[in-house]
Amino acid sequence: MDQTTLNIIVVGLSFVLYFGIAIWAKAGSTAEFYAAGRGVNPVVNGMATAADWMSAASFISMAGLIAFVGYNNSTFLMGWTGGYVLMAMLLAPYLRKFGKYTVPEFVGDRFYSNKARVVAVIALITMSVTYVIGQMAGAGVAFSRFLEVDNTTGLLIASAVVFVYAVLGGMKGITYTQVAQYCVLIVAYTIPAIFISLQLTGHVLPQLGLFGEHTASGQYLLVTLDGLLNDLGFNQYTSGSSPWLMALFTLSLMIGTAGLPHVIIRFFTVPKVSDARWSAGWALVFIALLYLTAPAVGAMARLNIMTTMWPQGVQGEAVAVDELPDWFRTWSATGLLAVEDKNGDGKIQYYNEKSEAMTALAAERGWQGNELVTFNQDILVLANPEIAGLPGWVIALIAAGGIAAALSTAAGLLLAISSAVSHDLIKSTINPGISEKGELLAARISMAAAIVVATYLGLNPPGFAAQVVALAFGLAAASLFPTLMMGIFSKRMNSAGATAGMLAGLLSTTLYLFLFLGWFFIPGTNMLTPDQYLFGIPPTHFGPIGALLNFGVAFIVASMTAEPPQEIQDLVESVRIPRGAGTAVNH
């Protein structure tokens, strides 16, 4: 059986599983569509939350970022994991105790204002649409390679699959589908990592292999990798850069994570407040299985790529064009990987053109530049089994895992968008008298429309998967996280302050992204260059600045306007008190 047929069979079986679950768990009411009837077991919810959380950025893109940048991009690991802890400790139990379906509903009721609710809906949709672009782009990468279709066709297939199980099942269907997707993606991620660790270091656990001895060189694996990178003029894998920017980006990811509405709503699906805390704990366990493996995957993959291009080291011969491995030729067919023999010597030179030492060596040897002209970082994890020469069934498994990671998070985001539109705009603002059947229909139509928009934007993303996701986290950090924190922990925060703060955070961060990335205005171009960044802050790092503006404007406006009504202050006090943690107010 050829590899493509095997891929189609394994991926197809996973789709059959997802569709079967969606049919079995079809939502028959708004309570089931929005919150799975509040009857999900904490362990099950923890696994579903982990799948919802570990998106295409985690599965597909994160190891690629770490592989090509090294220690600096450990910020993704620290920021995302730390942010989840913030969410679990500071937000999830209190929001569950409040007893609502959606994040905008909490904002609207806590700040006794439909204006605040609508602003929260706008912030949620802006962040979620940006986030879902990365998921659709990641799904396109996975489909284009493993089903041997073009990127556009891959996106359309992904959209169709999500449409069936998300629109049909709502939160109930998505929850149990995400449990299945977690099982697929974690097995798909860890099995290749174990094989590659055994090949390179002899260690079964990739985490030990990362700090173990590289079998071929007799040195520590990281020492070997640093040496190869240094020889080719790249920064060492273990070197860092600006501590200030690393700290700022980590903070942006942390508070952005804590403000993610599609993850927060997962805690609305459990029966009790105490179950929300247990769900958070289980989710951390399930997340750790992948996140503790990602650094090893990135380092080992980069080492394999380096030795592919320079099998004898830079002092030897580069790989000949006709000796490129099969995996290289296979991925070249997708357009995500490409080489060009610029000097016509029949070999492919890969080095850092910006390095003075390599520039001198290139002139001496007659090289005309780096001939690895295209390497999409998102392919790294998906290509890993082929790079290491693993069996075909492992390659098929990681195809299913990458697709599962993208689809699980996309479904959660789309549910958050549709719930905000149907429940918080239509039901709570535009047409309060709508029947439950009408609201359920509106939710499904909203999700279908969101899928169409996400697919269109996925075809023209402003960056690779993890980069786009980082922008979404910045938006969440600047808009929703401060508002939720003030709503829970500040009895003095009123409607005017919260609304003004959200607008300040959202507009300032969105404007900064538009100015420096140009997307939606001039796609594919920059309106301003990196040397013009405000205080040297890249767009992906701006979230904490927007959050500070949100907090500052909110407290200034609140201090100048009337206090919240006494019943709202009493409500805030009751939400914060641990008493009654075993029960919760139902919607």
3-state secondary structure of 334: coil
Helix residue spans in 3-113 (DSSP H): 3-24, 30-35, 42-53, 56, 62-69, 74-86, 92-98, 103-110
Tell me the per-residue pLDDT of 359-376, one tens digit each, with 9 for 90 and over.
888 888 888 888 888 887
Task: Give the model's confidence band at 575: pLDDT under 50 very low, under 70 low, under 90 confident, else very high.
Answer: confident
3-state secondary structure of 374: strand
How far is CA 57 from its chain centroid? 4
Task: Give the model's confidence band at 586: pLDDT under 50 very low, under 70 low, under 90 confident, else very high.
Answer: very low
pTM for the predicted model, two decimal places:
0.78
Of the candidates 101, 335, 272, 297, the residue with the CA atom closest to the CA atom of residue 199: 297
- pLDDT at 530 > cutoff 80: no
> Cα–Cα distance between 170 and 172 in angstroms, integer?
5
Identify the residue with better confidence: 152 or 255. 255
Tell me the per-residue pLDDT of 434-493, one tens digit each, with 9 for 90 and over.
888 888 888 888 888 888 887 887 776 655 445 566 677 888 899 999 999 999 999 999
3-state secondary structure of 206: helix
Give me the mean pLDDT over the 560-579 stretch.
Answer: 86
Task: Write the CB contacts of 126 (distance below 8 Å, at least 6 apart in sequence).
Answer: 475, 479, 506, 510
Tell me the per-residue pLDDT of 4-35, one tens digit each, with 9 for 90 and over.
888 888 888 888 887 787 777 776 677 777 76
Tell me the per-residue pLDDT of 176-185, one tens digit each, with 9 for 90 and over.
888 888 888 8
Helix, strand, coil in percent for the chain, rounding step 5: 75, 0, 25
Q: What is the pLDDT of residue 518?
A: 57
Q: What is the pLDDT of residue 582?
A: 46
Burial class (CB in 10 A: 0-12, 13-18, 19+), 19: middle
- pLDDT at 578 > cutoff 60: no
Task: Give the model's confidence band at 79: pLDDT under 50 very low, under 70 low, under 90 confident, else very high.
Answer: confident
Q: What is the pLDDT of residue 169?
A: 64
Helix residue spans in 292-391 (DSSP H): 294-309, 326-332, 356-365, 380-387
How far is CA 138 from its chain centroid? 10
566 C-beta neighbours (distance < 10 Å), count:
9
pLDDT, the chain, mean? 82
> Cα–Cα distance between 132 and 144 in angstroms, integer?
18
Q: What is the pLDDT of residue 357?
A: 87
Task: Tell me the C-alpha to C-alpha distance, in Å, between residue 306 and each of 172, 380, 425.
Answer: 46, 13, 53
Task: Give the model's confidence band at 581: pLDDT under 50 very low, under 70 low, under 90 confident, else very high.
Answer: very low
> Cα–Cα distance between 371 and 430 in angstroms, integer?
58
How far is CA 202 from its chain centroid? 31
Identify the residue with better confidence: 57 or 500. 500
CB 52 within 8 A of CB 263: yes
CA 449-422-480 angle, to 5 degrees, is: 95
Task: Give the model's confidence band at 520: pLDDT under 50 very low, under 70 low, under 90 confident, else very high.
Answer: very low
CB 383 within 8 A of CB 64: no
- pLDDT at 532 > cutoff 50: yes
Of the candidates 478, 16, 38, the residue with the CA atom closest to the CA atom of residue 258: 478
Give me the mean pLDDT over the 536-565 stretch.
Answer: 93
- Percent of the chain whose pLDDT exceeds 90: 18
- pLDDT at 549 > cutoff 90: yes
Q: What is the pLDDT of residue 234?
A: 85
CB 192 within 8 A of CB 388: yes
How far is CA 329 from its chain centroid? 29
Burial class (CB in 10 A: 0-12, 13-18, 19+), 34: buried
Tell me the per-residue pLDDT of 303-332, one tens digit each, with 9 for 90 and over.
888 888 888 877 788 889 888 888 888 888
Q: How far apart are the first and last CA of the chain?
A: 53
Tell me the per-residue pLDDT of 101-139, one tens digit each, with 9 for 90 and over.
788 889 999 999 999 999 999 888 888 887 777 777 777
Of the candidates 539, 34, 523, the residue with the CA atom closest to the CA atom of residue 249: 539
Domains of the chain: 21-301+385-576 (1.20.1730.10)
Q: What is the pLDDT of residue 336?
A: 78
Q: Which amino acid is at 130?
A: T
